[in-house]
Structure formats: structure tokens, C-alpha cells
Homo-oligomer: A and B are copies of this chain.
Amino acid sequence: MKAKTDHSASPGDELLRALSALANPHRLRIVAALAGGRNYVSGLAREIGISRPLLHMHLQRLEAARLVSGNLELSEDGKAMKYFEVTSFALALTPETVAEAARTLSAEPPGGQRGREQQQ
């Protein structure tokens, strides 16, 4: 129950989070829509045709991966609206960059990075 927006993660973990965030058709469309200009969640939900609660969940995932960012604003008529926009991310994925990132992955609970003697 911590680190939803973990600011202290290894490059490997950050890459993994970004990849997990992008590995979904809805979220790809969300990023695509926001690449065309910022929008608030209700408007965005209508634009891409999914429910607000669902969009809310996907936006959280994208924001946790730092691929989008949102901030609450007050419209002229006083309505609170949360506008989201894409961050200017740039990920280069090749066998080499993946290999480099994989070296700093923290996952895998039991065992850790060191000590991997095969048994039987």
C-alpha cells in the first residue's frame, strides 16, 4: 500500500512501470488523445468512449508511470476540472537498452540479485 508515485525507483523499475502502463489499448488511446491536446477527465471519457470511473483508473496508472500528469483547475464558471496532459517521455527499446535496464530490476521477492546456485 505504498509508492503509487514512487519517486525513488531504479531505472529498471521505472521502465517496467512505463511498459506496464502502456501495455493496454485504452491507455494507448488515452495517451494518443492527450498528445493531441490536454483535456479534463469527463471530456476525455466522452472523447474516447469509456466510462469515467474506468478512465479514472487508467489515468492513475499512467500518472503513476509519469507518462501523463494532471492538475486541478477552476473553470470560469467555478467548476473544478482536472486537466491531464502527456509528459514528453521518450523511451528507446532495443535489446541493449532492455539489458541495461534489467540489471537494476528490484522485483523477485525471494532470492534477490545475488546467489543463484542451481539445485538439482
Write the residues of chain A forming the contact surface with B, with a CB cutoff of 8 angstroms.
Answer: 12, 15-16, 18-20, 22-25, 28-29, 31-32, 34-36, 46, 48-49, 86, 88-96, 98-99, 101-103, 105, 107-108, 111, 116, 118
Q: Which residues of B contact A20 (CB under 8 A)?
A: 23
A31 and chain B: residue at smallest CB distance: B98
Q: How many copies altogether? A: 2
Nearest B-chain residue to A87, judged by Cβ: B95
Which one of A23, A36, A88, A91 has the highest number of Cβ atoms from chain B below 10 Å of its Cβ?
A: A23
In the docked arrangement, what's the CA distance between A34 and B95, Å?
A: 8
Q: How many Å lie between the Cα of A95 and that of B86 in the bound state? A: 7
30 sample A-B contacts, Cβ–Cβ < 8 Å, listed by A number: A12-B28, A16-B23, A16-B24, A16-B25, A18-B93, A22-B23, A23-B23, A25-B105, A25-B107, A28-B98, A28-B101, A28-B102, A28-B105, A31-B95, A31-B102, A32-B95, A32-B99, A32-B102, A32-B103, A34-B95, A35-B96, A46-B118, A48-B116, A49-B111, A86-B95, A89-B93, A89-B94, A91-B94, A92-B92, A93-B93
